[in-house]
Chain A
Amino acid sequence: MKPVYISSIVVTSPQQHFEDDGFLQNVFGDDSGCLYVKEPNYRKYINPVAIRRMSKLLKMGISTGMNALERAGVQQPDAIITGTGRGSMVDMEAFLLSMIEMEEEALTPTSFIQSTYNSVNGWLALQTKSNGYNQTYVNRGASFELALFDAQMLLNETEEAQTALVGCFDEITPDYVRVKGKIGYWKEPAPANLELLQKADTPGTIAGEGAAFLTVTNNKENTLCSLLCIKMLQDATTDEVVHHANEILTENNISLADIDVLLCGMNGDVNQQEVYTTMIGKAVANTSIAAFKHLCGEYDTSSGFATWIAAKLFELQEIPEILTVKRGRHERIKNILIVNHYILNSTSLILLQAE
C-alpha cells in the first residue's frame, strides 16, 4: 500500500491534553499505580444538554476527536475510524451493577447505550454530520493499529483527496484495576511511574488511560509526517517480530541505520521485556532508543499516545530527556519505528517518516 499522511494529531493523556502548549514540559509522576488523564474542558466541543449524561470516555473521545479535526481544518471527515480495547468501562460497570442490584427491574438505558463500543464514533458522526465510512475496532492491543490500518487501506482505495479521522480511547476504573490485579497485571507494590522502566526485573506494570485522535489523508500537502506501514502480530515469537520489522523496512527501502528513533512500549514487566531487548539489541549506534509507557501507563491503545510522541519528535527534532533510553548518533529525526507489545500477546510495528 502507498503511504498516507498525518495532518494533525492530539491526545488527552495523563501528561497533557490538547489544550496544553508545549511537549512534556511539566512531567506528571505519582506512585498510585494508575495514571489517569488530565482532563480538558469538554464543554468547548459538546453541547451542554448532551454533556450532562455523558461519561468520561465519551467526553474524552468526542473532544479529542473534534480538536484533531479543528487543527486539521477539516469540518467533515470522509471516514471516522476508531479503536478501543474496552470502550466505556464506567458505563459497562454502571449498567451491570445496577442490573445485579435491581435484580433486572427498573433500569435506565443511558449507561447501556454508552457502553456500546461504537458510541464515540456515532457521536462524532452526528456532531460533524459525517455520513461517510464509520468503523470501530475492539481488538485488545491491536485496536488502534487496526483503525489506522483501515484508514490507510481506505485512502488507498480512492483517487480522490480524502481525510479520515482516526482515534482511540480507553479508560481505567478502580474495579478494572482490582479485577485485572487478580491475574497479575500490576506490579505490587506500585512503583512511581517515572521509575517504571528501572523496575523491569519483576512482573507486572502500571495502569494507564488516554485518547489520541489524528487526521490521516492521501494528500501530502501541509502534513506532519508519512505513515509508511503498520503491522499487527498476534502470538508472534520474538524472531517473527524481528522478521516482520526487517521486512517492512526492506519494503520501504529503509535500512536499520536509517531508523533514527526506535520508540518502544516497555512497560516494566520482566515477562514482556524480551521483544524490546531483542529489537534494541539489533539497533545500530545511529539509532536513539526512546520509551513512553512510564508517562501514560499500560492500556490497549497506548500506541495512539506513542504515535503522537513520534509526530512531536518530528516537529521539534529533539528527544526530551524524559523519553530517552539511549541517545543515538543521528542528526535529524527522519524515520521512527514504534514497537509495542500488549499484555495479551499482541505486538505492533508502526513506521513513520518525516517529510
Chain B
Amino acid sequence: MSERIVITSTGIISALGIGEEQHWHALANKKTGLKYPVHLTTRHASEFLLGEVDLSNDELAAMLDLPTGDNGYTRTTLLALVAMQELVNKTGLQLLQDEPLALVNANTVGGMCSVEDMYPDFISDKQDGSFIKYIDTLDCAESTLNIAQYFKIKPFTATISTACSSSANSIMLGSRLIQQGIVKRAVCGGCDALSRFTLNGFNSLKNVDKEASRPFDQTRFGLNLGEGAGYLLLENESDAVARGATIMAVLSGYSNTNDAYHPTAPSPDGDGALMTMQLALQKAKLSADDIDYVNAHGTATINNDASEGKALQRLFANRKPVFSSTKPFTGHTLAAAGSIEAIFSILAMQNQVSLPNLNYRTKMDELEIEPVTEAEQMNINHVLSNSFGFGGNNVSLVFSKP
C-alpha cells in the first residue's frame, strides 16, 4: 500500500492577484478578475472581457530582479517564475535543491505571446535584433527550463501539453513519480499567458463570450480566456510530517482518460467525464456521496457544460451535488487551469466554504442540478476538481482534508 501524497505549499498568479490570500479574498467576496485587456495587444481589446494579470511584463520582470524590456523572457515564463517565487518564498529554495525533485510543468502555446509579435522579423531577412533572443521560446518547455535555471535547481523535468487538462495531468504525474520512488518531492502545475493566437483560435471556433461567461446557465454562450500560473508542492505524508511542514491537503485520487468521441467536442451525455470522475473516486476509495464540493471544469461553452452537467447528474444520482465553476473569476487559463483550480479546491476545503459560480441566473433546460452561487460555510472533507480538454483529454483529481 503506497503512502499518502500531500500538498504542502502553493504558488499562484492570475487575474485575481498573487498568492493564496489575494485569491481567497477575491473568491470569497465574489470579485471577478475579468476586464478588457491592457497588456495584450489585439484589435479585439475593447470587445472581449479577459482574465488578464494586472501587471506588465516589465513589472513582472522587476518582481524577479530581471532586466526590463526585451530580456528574452516571455510573459508565459514571467508568470511561471512569479508563481514559483511565491512557492519558493514559503518553502525555501534549499528544500527544492537538496533532494531528488521533479518539476512537472504544463503549457499549451509556449512563448506564443512574444513570438506572435516578432514572427514577421523571425521569417524576414533580418539577421539580428532583439527578436533573436526569442527564437527558442516558442516551444512549451521554454518556461519549464527557465524555472529550473532561474531557481538553480536540477530536477527531473517534464512538460505536458494536453490542452485544458494539462496541469491537472502535471499533478497526477508528480504524484506517480513520488509513488514510484523516482523523486522525493514534485513541484507540479502549469502556466499560460494570453496571446492573440489563442484568443483568435477560440474565437474562430465561435465559443468565446464577449461578456462575462455564465457557466451552467441556460444563456451561456462561451468562455472568457485568462492567463496565469499555479504550482503545488507534492510529497509523501511522512516526509512532510518529518520536516514539520503544514499539510494543506491530501491528493487522494486522480484519473486520466480519453473521451474518444470527437477532436474538439465532448460526448453529449457526459460519458467520458463520468468515467473520469468515477475512476478518480475509485482510486481515492471514495463514493460520490463522500464528495462535498465539485470544482467543475465549467468553461461556459455550450458543449462542455451540457456534457459535464449531465455527467455530474449521473455521478450524483442520489442527491444534488454542491458544484461551481470558478472560471468567471479568472477566465479560462488553459494549461494553468488545472493547477489554479486545484489550489482553489484546497482553499475551499481549508476555509470550509463553497466557491461561488458567478453570473448564474437561469437553470439549464437539460439539467436538474444548479451550481452554488454563494461562498457558503459548509463541511468540506473531499473535493473533486475536473479538467477536460480538446482531444478528449480528461482529468479528475480528488483532494481530501489532511
Contacts and interface: CB of A to CB of B under 8 A. Distances in A.
Interface of A: 1, 80, 85-87, 92, 95-97, 99-100, 103-105, 107-109, 112-113, 115-119, 121-123, 125-126, 128-140, 142, 146, 150, 153, 156-157, 175, 178-180, 182-183, 232, 234-235, 344
A182 B169 contact: no
10 contacts: A87-B161, A99-B197, A99-B200, A118-B161, A119-B263, A122-B263, A137-B159, A137-B160, A140-B139, A344-B136
A127 B204 CA distance: 25
B74 to A, nearest CB: 15
B258 A182 contact: no
Contacts of B396: none
B123 A178 contact: yes
B176 interface: yes
B389 interface: yes
B141 A138 contact: yes
B131 to A, nearest CB: 9
A126 B260 contact: yes
Given A130-B260, A139-B159, A183-B135, 16 more contacts: A96-B197, A99-B197, A112-B200, A113-B205, A115-B201, A118-B390, A121-B162, A121-B391, A131-B272, A133-B258, A135-B256, A140-B139, A153-B176, A179-B122, A183-B132, A232-B156
A125 B139 contact: no
A115 B272 CA distance: 23
A156 B182 CA distance: 13
A235 B151 CA distance: 14
Tell me the dominant secondary structure on chain A's binding face.
mixed
**Can you list the 9 inter-chain pairs with the closest CB atoms, starting with the nearest?**
A122-B391, A112-B201, A134-B258, A138-B140, A117-B161, A125-B258, A109-B204, A107-B204, A139-B159
Nearest to B142: A140
Contact of B258 (A107, A113, A130, A156): A130
Contacts of B285: none
Contacts of B261: 126
Contacts of A142: 157-158
Contact of A117 (B135, B140, B144, B262): B140
A122 B390 contact: yes
A103 B177 CA distance: 45
Contacts of A153: 176-177, 180, 182
A86 B139 contact: yes
A163 to B, nearest CB: 15
Contacts, number: 178
Contacts of B169: 135
Contact of B123 (A116, A175, A232): A175
B392 A125 contact: yes
Interface in B138-189: 138-141, 144-145, 148-149, 154, 156-163, 169, 173, 176-177, 180, 182
Interface of B: 42-44, 107-108, 112, 115-116, 119-120, 122-123, 127, 132, 135-136, 138-141, 144-145, 148-149, 154, 156-163, 169, 173, 176-177, 180, 182, 196-197, 200-201, 203-205, 256-264, 272, 275, 389-393
Contacts of B260: 125-126, 128-131
B264 A113 contact: yes
Contacts of B201: 95, 107, 109, 112-113, 115
A139 B157 contact: yes
A87 B112 CA distance: 14
Contacts of A1: 180
Contacts of A95: 197, 200-201
A272 B95 CA distance: 33
Contact of A116 (B43, B138, B391): B391
Contacts of A150: 173
Contacts of B275: 131
Contacts of B256: 133-135
Nearest to A85: B139
A131 to B, nearest CB: 5
A142 B120 CA distance: 29
B287 to A, nearest CB: 21
A123 B391 CA distance: 7
A131 B258 contact: yes
Contacts of A132: 257-258
Nearest to A133: B256
B157 A107 contact: no
A258 B36 CA distance: 64
B337 to A, nearest CB: 15
Contact of A80 (B108, B116, B258): B258
Nearest to A89: B138
Contacts of B108: 116-117
A170 to B, nearest CB: 11
B161 A183 contact: no
Contacts of A344: 136, 145
A126 B263 contact: yes
A136 B160 contact: yes
A115 B258 CA distance: 19
Greatest chain B CB density within 10 A among A126, A134, A136 is at: A134
Contact of A183 (B115, B119, B136, B173): B136
Nearest to B203: A107
B141 A140 contact: yes
A51 to B, nearest CB: 13
Contact of B205 (A85, A97, A112, A182): A112
Given A121-B393, A178-B123, A137 B196 contact: no
A118 B122 contact: no
B180 A104 contact: no
Contacts of A179: 122-123, 135
B106 to A, nearest CB: 9
A96 B119 contact: yes
A138 B138 CA distance: 11
Contact of B160 (A122, A138, A157): A138
B154 A235 contact: yes
A274 to B, nearest CB: 19
Contact of A182 (B132, B138, B162, B177): B132
B10 to A, nearest CB: 23
A120 B216 CA distance: 30
Contact of A113 (B42, B197, B390): B390
